[in-house]
Structure 1
Amino acid sequence: MERRRSLPDVLAGGIFVLIGGAFVVGSLGHRLGTPLRMGPGAFPLLVGAILAVLGLAIVVKGLVAGEVISFGPVPWRAVVLITLAVLFFGFAVRGLGFVPASAVTTLLTTLAGSRVRPLTVVAVTIGLTAAATLIFVVGLQLRIPLWGPWLGF
């Protein structure tokens, strides 16, 4: 029986272990508290530990039972548009407001697909913008203005 190693799994698992370890180390600088009265370092410690354990499991899986994966061409259009959408949202949400920034971000990410119809783009943009507004601004009561100062509101 031939053992195959999956380099993508080993690399991804290693990245998870590093990020989880960084969270664990960073959380040790804060008070952990007790299980009933958790301090500010407890949650990052737990999340970091879980992430590190999952990363370790992915590394072991990649070393023991890896798969040979053939990669196709890189979808550069999707990579560029999604990266631009995330950067746009981060830089424009305070100036434009939550609704316009979410709408443009959703529009850009929807256009990242290779086969999209204009009606689908509009429907997804309206639906996700409304859902995000209801969840984050109304439900979670984040203090983000719906319309920003760049629009004159």
Structure 2
Amino acid sequence: MGSGGKVLGPSGKRARQRRNERILAWVTLVGSGVAGVGGLVDWALGNGLEAQTFWPFAVAAWATALLLKSYGRKRAAGIANGLSVGLFAVGGLWLGIPAALHLVRGESVDWLDFSVGVLVAAVLVAALVAEGLARRRKRRPACSPASS
């Protein structure tokens, strides 16, 4: 049985790293699934739907994207990643917009909600700018140094 990994699959540093990434993604997926179900049970018991209810589902979508990517399903991974980003954005803006309104009105502000909202808004703006620059760079023909 000294086949060096033929029975258990590929061996080596890269294969071990992929296996560890998959294990981490599965643990994250299961943990966030349990937390998400707990949030839904809390909502069903009449405690209302809050922004914190969306975070476990966003993490679960991110873990699903990692798993799909590791199994070679890049298009499905991109869709899951987009869902994750959307859920993070909804949760962050749901926290931040009311806190910003309280600040503008001069009322007491939950500074944690406000800072999460500002952070999410800043990351969204940076991501949109980066995507726009990447698309513009892709459309523009590359200039080679030999042609000048």
The question of a shared fold, defined as TM-score above 0.5 by the shorter chain, is answered with no
Please tell me the TM-score bracket, short chain as reference.
0.3 to 0.5
TM-score (norm 2): 0.33
| TM-score, L = length of structure 1 | 0.32
